[in-house]
Structure 1
Amino acid sequence: MWDKMRKPAAGVLLTATMLLAACGSTGNNADNGQEAANGNAGAENASQGAIDPMGKYETPVEIKFARPSSQNWKYPDGDSLDDNIWSREYSDKLGIKVVTDWTAEEGETYDQKMNVAIASGNLPDMFVVNATQLQQLANAGELADLAGVFDQYGSELTKKLVNSDGGLGLQSATFDGKLLALPGVSANLYNPSLLWIRTDWLKKLNLPEPKTMQDVFAISDAFVNQDPDGDGKKNTIGLGLTKDLYTGGIGLISGFANGYHAYPWIWVKNADGTVQYGSTKPEMKAALGKLQELYKNGQIDKEFGVKDGAKIGESIASNKLGIMYGENWMPYFPIIDGKKQNPGMEWKPYALPSIDDQPAKGGVAFATTTYFAVNKNFKHPEAIVKLLNMQQEKMYQAPVDPNSPFNIVQDGDTRIETYKYAVVSSTLGNDMIADSITKLKDALEKDDPEITKGMLAETDKFEPIRAFNKDRNMDYWPQARQFDAFQQLLNMYNNDGLVTSVLAGQTKTMGENWAALVKLEKETFTKIIMGAAPIDEFDKFVDTWNALGGKEITQEVTDMVNK
């Protein structure tokens, strides 16, 4: 939960299968269908006294739950998916017995099984879905309205944290005024690409730090033509790219494109209110044209089209690469390996520079990908809110303990991630992440660890960064450089510097055609950059993309956004 490297768990929202989805067999109480559907079944009458968000049921409540899991999950001795620190706490403190109705391997396997369950109408009491499945179940009228029970039973902490994304997750789970699931909130503040540059090379060549895209072009040219590694050979690379273009977090073209106000790989709303796939907008053509020019001038690795992030790491370690776009965790991988082999190497993250006088903004996926829903026939819809209250309290009640047994357990050399066992979970939205980074910055500037007690995230960063700042302990170099990235991301967030995808899932036609459209896009863009196709091939790509289902998908996305 407090992972050092903040990666998007499943890549970009549009094409990744959702992290969590579930379905299962019956376990319903049809006699209570209407009562449950209005969001008040099993709830205490508020007029009879204050409701305890963590109150224990006098008569235990059994919940048949469909959820994802993984064969790679580890458990302390004697524990299992159905009997663990979380399930025991649910039973002891809430009077809730969670029974796994069925489970499947998280990811695509899980999604497929959920799709079968939706088609058959065979749903357990509670289950986990992705955005597309939520839309289907909402249309079918299969879900309980949780608006009332969330308002009544949601703890102060839960309501604060679930709304820490600006309410976007709750909004995405609301249909015709009904809250049909609890969103698994997360933060996309972590995810924009940043510009990473070898600052020791800047100093050696007496170059200024970049403020504009024109500065980036000049620096890239110098890194290729002015022998920054000092070996007397023209063998260095200006801008590092990978064959994946957008995914993997390393060597991305998305950050470069953002400098042209292009937002590939996400769906954006135009000024006139229409919805468009960012990769098909005219600004993307301009960005590709410049990348083609840089490639022609030898500033991009001639073989980038077959290289992945690991190959970028090799270029860094061999002292040959000077610039790349990537995420905040780059110091942990791949930069640290190069730093160990070349101690004088220094990298610094910069905010995205712009091609013109308009500030560049980072494009990010919609943050919520997971939803927790209740069968409309289940008697106790409020139980799902209690389960979430417990998870929020155990994980995020300040002061946060990253070594809590509800988070991780160390068994010898094995790190067991016990937080995964929680059946209902939500992390922190952008507001809370921004607050924690701000507190971390303040604590470091004032050298005051007491300030960190109010942090809900990045609680493990203060001591390592403090140690690095005091004695330059290289063991903590990655944390210090990642903190530099955090400050850039915080500044972007505080200054309206993010463009978030308006789509929180996939459409029907996406499920059928998206893989082919992605293949078309990556192949065309790679050919354009490498000069194997002229820049006007972009226009043909857009026409073909629309003809192969893109036009229909755009209409479907528009309908979803305007639901």
Structure 2
Amino acid sequence: MAKKMMAIVMAAAMSVTLLAGCAGKGADTPAAADNAGRTTENQGSTAAGGEEASGEDGSGLVPITFSRAQDSLMETDIFARMEGASYEDNLWTDLIAERLGYDVKYLWIASSAELQTQKFNAAMAAGTIPDIVCVNKTDLKQLVEAGLVVDMKPYFDEYASDFVKELIAAGGDAAIQACTYDGVQYGIPYVDCDIETAQMLWLRQDWLDELGLEAPETLEELKNILAAFKEHAGSGGSGLALSSDIYGNNFDIKGWCNAYGAYPKYWIDDGSGKLVYGSTTPEMKEALGSLAELFQEGLLDPEFYVNDNDKAKEALVSGKCGAMYGYHAGSLWPLQDVVDADPEADWRPYALPVKNAGDTIKPGIHMCTANWYAVSKDCAHPEALVEMLNLYCEKVLDPEKNEYAVYANPGDGLEGVWRLTPVTINSPNKNQVTAKAIEEPLKTGDPGELTGEQYSMWEYSYKAQNGDTQLWGWNRVFGADGSQQQLMSYQNDSNVELVYDQFFGAPGEIMTTKKTTLDDMLDQVFIKIIAGQEPLDSFDSVVEQWKTAGGQEMTDEVNEWYS
């Protein structure tokens, strides 16, 4: 039971890490899982690049302010196990004081995320934000327009360790461009992994083997597999799992659409140097038509449009469906639940099937970075942010010098200690690095010099390979034939072309006020087209309605940004 609970907790943490940055408006710590990476140089023991600190309280420490929301899991899982620990007094704040000369202070600790947002919005309006904040791109834009934050590039260039600079660079240029206004870089991105937004096809490998079938390369081959799976599942069986959340991480249509060159909700180049909304292209219409054919042939759940993801999962768990499009962590959820119910079940990820044999595989990906650190114009030491990032890397990410078992995840029921620090950073390619690092040790059974998260992922995967089905999901992420191997294949295969969402800026006025309504307008019709409740030509009429209702204005706004 303990193993199962640990797998559930780690699965949830990893899922959050792939999709989230900092923990909300003005929050100090990213809502992310454990990180893995490399090194940083030792920091001095005093603040301001070696100047003698002179705290207002006579402690000799320089106060640096933050804000955050209460974290019930931190309070029950960490504070309860670390005598005397609190948000402002713990092993991380002690380390920051000792090594950097900063006294971590919280202007407020809100009782909920909602209240945190309210308090931060009020602080922005009053011009009294904390010294260091972590915000989304919309809030960053407001901070810049209000003149409340400073240019961080000079401080980053001077104070960041080589490793921190490498981490930020690995996050891609878009993450920097998104926090740059009029040539000034106002933020440091909490970088995340763009390639992990790509879709893949998850299939029940045990069914493929039992039926003597090979993984599909084309959509037609996939349709044949779906028909065979439906028959194999018996009464109540279906072909492809799909939910009403048609653009989610799992049970979605994105991977199918990509085969047609359709990229719903992405802004893509129309070939003339202009951006067009991917949900409105002729390729999208063609993809919807083929999905409608799947529905008519009984290869989609007839009630998919009223099923949420949990309901869609039931068909997998009950053995009535063996195929879904999903992202790289699909094995942690929902597929681990399938294996828990049937230990003989085995799923594997495959590259997206293409429309026609010989076509280039073109998965859509987008900027995964969602949050940025920024520093108040009133902060006396903006370099404090960079120095804290350096320190975090040293203690948590450095495979040679890290003290992972002290400052990240000590074990024995004490996990997530890294969340006590007010500033963290992610290694955007850490999962691919981990998969490479444990590849040979998984074959030999010897972890060698693996440490930290790499050792943990080796241990989970090795146990899964040796029969521990409760850890099966981790092996399908990091082990042989796992999702990380598939993502690396996307990056390295000459027959794969990654298609990026080209809009990564803060939404403009039209997008902010109208996009949700405009998307709903399209999606309601799209779902009806797939379900056979509207003819395919309804696509043309709804796209025209979309343009008239503000879609064209939004497109013009996006292209003004793009130019």
What's 1:517 paired with? Answer: 518
Provide the C-alpha distance between the structure 2 equivalents of 1:344 and 1:245, rounded to a whole number of angstroms. 29
What's 1:332 paired with? Answer: 332
Residue type at the aligned position of 1:465: S
Trace 1:241-390 onto structure 2 (pairs within 5 A). Answer: 241-247=242-248, 249-356=249-356, 357-390=358-391
Change (3 A) 1:374 1:392: same
What's 2:46 paired with? Answer: 56
For residues 136-179 of structure 1, the C-alpha deviation after alignment (integer angstroms, 9 at most, x for no partner) is: 33234332112111111111221122222234323322333322
Change (3 A) 1:107 1:309: same
- How does the TM-score come out when normalised to structure 1? 0.84
Query: How many angstroms does 1:67 deviate by?
Result: 3.8
Residue type at the aligned position of 1:164: A
Equivalent residue in structure 2 for 1:440, among 407, 427, 438: 438
Change (3 A) 1:281 1:418: farther
Residue type at the aligned position of 1:518: D
For residues 451-486 of structure 1, the C-alpha deviation after alignment (integer angstroms, 9 at most, x for no partner) is: 645xx85542212323444x4443432222223111
What's 1:449 paired with? Answer: 447
What's 1:474 paired with? Answer: 469
Residue type at the aligned position of 1:492: Y
Query: How many angstroms does 1:404 deviate by?
Result: 2.7
1:128 counterpart SS class: strand
Query: How many angstroms does 1:344 deviate by?
Result: 3.3
What's 1:539 paired with? Answer: 540
Provide the C-alpha distance between the structure 1 equivalents of 2:274 and 2:558, rounded to a whole number of angstroms. 10
Query: How many angstroms does 1:401 deviate by?
Result: 6.5
| 1:123 maps onto 2:92 in alignment | no
2:197 counterpart SS class: coil
What's 2:58 paired with? Answer: none
Provide the C-alpha distance between the structure 2 equivalents of 1:400 and 1:260, rounded to a whole number of angstroms. 48
CA contact (8 A) 2:24 2:113 kept: yes
CA contact (8 A) 2:241 2:251 kept: yes
CA contact (8 A) 1:361 1:498 kept: yes
Provide the C-alpha distance between the structure 2 equivalents of 1:105 and 1:364, rounded to a whole number of angstroms. 35
What's 1:179 paired with? Answer: 185
Query: How many angstroms does 1:492 deviate by?
Result: 1.0
CA contact (8 A) 1:145 1:179 kept: yes
For residues 320-350 of structure 1, the C-alpha deviation after alignment (integer angstroms, 9 at most, x for no partner) is: 1021111222233322333344343322210
CA contact (8 A) 2:189 2:372 kept: yes
What's 1:465 paired with? Answer: 461
Change (3 A) 1:276 1:395: farther
Tell me the number of residue pairs that the alignment of Structure 1 and Structure 2 aligns. Answer: 521
Residue type at the aligned position of 2:287: A
What's 1:38 paired with? Answer: none
What's 2:168 paired with? Answer: 162
Provide the C-alpha distance between the structure 2 equivalents of 1:344 and 1:62, rounded to a whole number of angstroms. 57
Query: How many angstroms does 1:215 deviate by?
Result: 0.9
Query: How many angstroms does 1:53 deviate by?
Result: 4.3
Residue type at the aligned position of 1:386: E
Change (3 A) 1:110 1:353: farther
What's 1:151 paired with? Answer: 157
Query: How many angstroms does 1:191 deviate by?
Result: 2.9
What's 2:79 paired with? Answer: 76
Query: How many angstroms does 1:448 deviate by?
Result: 4.9
Trace 1:473-492 onto structure 2 (pairs within 5 A). Answer: 473-483=468-478, 484-492=482-490
Provide the C-alpha distance between the structure 2 equivalents of 1:76 and 1:559, rounded to a whole number of angstroms. 50
Which runs of no fewer than 5 residues in structure 1 stay unpaired? 25-50
Which runs of no fewer than 5 residues in structure 2 stay unpaired? 1-5, 29-40, 54-60
Trace 1:105-116 onto structure 2 (pairs within 5 A). Answer: 110-116=116-122
For residues 345-364 of structure 1, the C-alpha deviation after alignment (integer angstroms, 9 at most, x for no partner) is: 32221011111333223223
Provide the C-alpha distance between the structure 2 equivalents of 1:127 and 1:165, rounded to a whole number of angstroms. 20
More displaced stretch, 79-88 vs 110-119: 110-119
For residues 224-245 of structure 1, the C-alpha deviation after alignment (integer angstroms, 9 at most, x for no partner) is: 3xx313xxx5431101101111
Residue type at the aligned position of 1:228: H
1:478 counterpart SS class: helix
Change (3 A) 1:336 1:134: closer
Change (3 A) 1:379 1:345: closer
CA-atom RMSD in angstroms: 3.0
Query: How many angstroms does 1:267 deviate by?
Result: 2.8
